[in-house]
A = this chain, B = another copy of it.
């Protein structure tokens, strides 16, 4: 958040921009979508997880957010679609195809139709916008870039493409570094930069996604850190670490491997000067007290829809509080 007057940037009525990865981030995104007027929310999704599989372009994080907002996500798995069938995978296995990455029958339509349109020259942004319109999603959903960025996980067992690390190897190899192939030359989604420069922007929210695998790819795009720093709206992150553990996924494990304490405070330290505010779980109230920035302590576990709504309200309230303080 840049210093200066912000009379028109109060959360009430302004727009909200959320940066998100897949499962954990999508939960908060849904809460924000439910408590805000839908058109006030724009979500920027990580595409560093995207990959070519079976000849199809697969965008796991983008799809998780899209299915979540459309109300068709599988709540049990966190990925894929509800009421899914699996005839394709069974038949593929019988034909000797690769089955380590599970694609449901309905989900497959997204990948086939997106791949067809990409081959026909449409951009990932255009395709995503059209899919969202057809699925009745009123929020904006932006891939972080239309250019390919591929997350490469450097491990003690060599460099692994993200899905090899995440799905095929179940995050078991010890991480030594993470790189974002293509990020240096990829152009951030122009609508993302426009949203950050919009005077009506009331808050930027970093969802409780994996900072290294889901948020860093977005921050690695040229100009994004500078645009976030220059943005007049407060930037609030939600800790993905609760009581020293990640709710889901390898965040805590990776922090240990990268010689960081697996604490909420360490996450805040990692985001550093980007943050204007931080939301931590009640389990980390002690951690919170030591942070030198506005902090909200609340329940961050999002088991129910009410939990999602409640956390979204806390996040927005913290952003408002920061904006109000800056005005005074």
Contacts and interface: CB of A to CB of B under 8 A. Distances in A.
Contact of A95 (B87, B92, B94, B113): B113
A94 B134 contact: yes
Interface in A79-118: 81, 84-85, 87-92, 94-97, 104-110, 112-113, 115-116
Contact of A87 (B91, B96, B104, B113): B104
Contacts of A108: 88, 91, 105, 108, 112
A2 B134 CA distance: 63
A115 B94 CA distance: 16
Contacts of A88: 88, 105-106, 108-109, 112
A112 B105 CA distance: 12
A91 B106 contact: yes
Interface residues of A, number: 32
A119 interface: yes
Given A55-B119, A105-B105, A113 B85 contact: no
A95 B109 contact: yes
A54 interface: yes
B91 A134 contact: no
A85 B95 CA distance: 18
A105 B85 CA distance: 8
A112 B92 contact: yes
Nearest to A56: B112
17 contacts: A55-B112, A55-B115, A56-B112, A84-B87, A88-B88, A88-B112, A90-B106, A92-B113, A94-B109, A94-B135, A95-B109, A95-B131, A95-B134, A97-B112, A97-B116, A105-B105, A112-B112
